[in-house]
Structure 1
Amino acid sequence: MKKNLLAIAVGAAVAFPGLALADGPTVYGKVNVSLENSDVDDGTTSEDTWELNSNASRLGVKGDFDLDVANLKAIYQAEFEISVDDGDKGGQTFTQRNIFGGLEGSLGTIKAGKFDTPTKKAQGKIDQFNDIGGDIKNVLAGENRVSNIIQYSTPKLADMITLNVAFIPGEGDDVDADGDADTDIADTTSISLVAEKDMFYGAISRDTDMVDELVADPSTPAVESLDITRAAVGLKPGNFELGALYQLAEETEGDGEDSSIVVSAAMKIDRIKLKAQYGMTDGDQSDEEVTQVSLGADYKLAKASKVYVYGTQLDFDLADEEETIFGLGMEHKF
Structure 2
Amino acid sequence: MAIKLNAIKPAGRYLTVPATALALAVSTQAMADVTIYGRAHVSVDYLDDGADYSKANLSSNSSRLGFKGSHEINPDLTAFFQIEQQINFTTGSNDGDSASFSTRDTFVGLRGNFGAIQMGRFDSPFKTARGPANLFGDQVGDMRNLTRVGNARFDERYDNTLQYTSPEYNGFSMKLAYSVYEGQAATEEDDSSNAGSLSLNYAKGPLAAALAYETVGADNSRGKRNGLRLAGSYKVMDDLKLVGFYQSTDYKSGNSALRKQLSSDTYGLGGEYMLGKNTALKAMWMTRDADDSDYGADMWVVGVEHKLDKAVRVYANYAFMDNDKHSKLAPWAQARSAKPGVAATGTEAAGLSVGLRYDF
Task: Please list the CA deviations of residues 136-180 of structure 1 after superposition, one character each: whole Å capped at 9, or x if unmatched.
Answer: 1100132212221111011112x211111111113599x9xxxx9
Partners of 1:321 and 1:165 lie apart in 2 by 40
In the other structure, the counterpart of 1:160 is: 171
State the AA in 2 paired with 1:38: L
Q: Does 1:225 align with 2:224?
A: yes
How has the CA–CA distance of structure 1 residues 305 and 211 changed in structure 2, closer, same or farther, with 3 Å as cutoff? farther
Partners of 1:81 and 1:322 lie apart in 2 by 31
In the other structure, the counterpart of 1:86 is: 91
How has the CA–CA distance of structure 1 residues 223 and 151 changed in structure 2, closer, same or farther, with 3 Å as cutoff? closer
The one of 23, 42, 45 equivalent to 1:36 is: 45
Contact map agreement 2:115 2:166 (CA 8 A) in 1: yes
Aligned-residue CA RMSD in angstroms? 3.0
Q: Does 1:188 align with 2:187?
A: no
Which 10-residue stretch deviates more, 283-292 or 105-114? Answer: 283-292
Q: Does 1:317 align with 2:324?
A: yes
Unaligned residue ranges in structure 2 (runs of 5+) = 1-16, 25-29, 149-153, 327-345
Q: Which has the higher strand share?
A: 1
How has the CA–CA distance of structure 1 residues 131 and 95 changed in structure 2, closer, same or farther, with 3 Å as cutoff? farther
State the AA in 1 paired with 2:81: Y
Secondary structure at the residue paired with 2:53?
strand
In the other structure, the counterpart of 2:6 is: none
Unaligned residue ranges in structure 1 (runs of 5+) = 1-5, 14-19, 214-221
The one of 259, 266, 269 equivalent to 1:263 is: 269
Runs of 4+ more than 4 Å apart: 210-213
In the other structure, the counterpart of 1:3 is: none
Contact map agreement 1:279 1:293 (CA 8 A) in 2: yes
Count matched residues.
304
Contact map agreement 1:223 1:251 (CA 8 A) in 2: no
Contact map agreement 1:262 1:280 (CA 8 A) in 2: yes
Aligned residue runs from structure 1 range 44-123, under 5 A: 45-68=51-74, 71-90=76-95, 92=98, 96-123=103-130
Aligned residue runs from structure 1 range 194-209, under 5 A: 194-209=201-216
Taking structure 1 as the reference length, the TM-score comes to 0.83
How has the CA–CA distance of structure 1 residues 168 and 243 changed in structure 2, closer, same or farther, with 3 Å as cutoff? same
Partners of 2:202 and 2:89 lie apart in 1 by 36
Percent of pairs identical after alignment? 28
Aligned residue runs from structure 1 range 233-248, under 5 A: 233-236=232-235, 237-248=237-248
State the AA in 1 paired with 2:146: V
State the AA in 2 paired with 1:252: K
Secondary structure at the residue paired with 1:302?
coil
Taking structure 2 as the reference length, the TM-score comes to 0.77
Please report how far the alpha carbon of residue 333 of structure 1 lies from its aligned counterpart in structure 2 after TM superposition: 0.8
Aligned residue runs from structure 1 range 285-296, under 5 A: 285-296=292-303
How has the CA–CA distance of structure 1 residues 170 and 7 changed in structure 2, closer, same or farther, with 3 Å as cutoff? same
Partners of 1:228 and 1:166 lie apart in 2 by 14
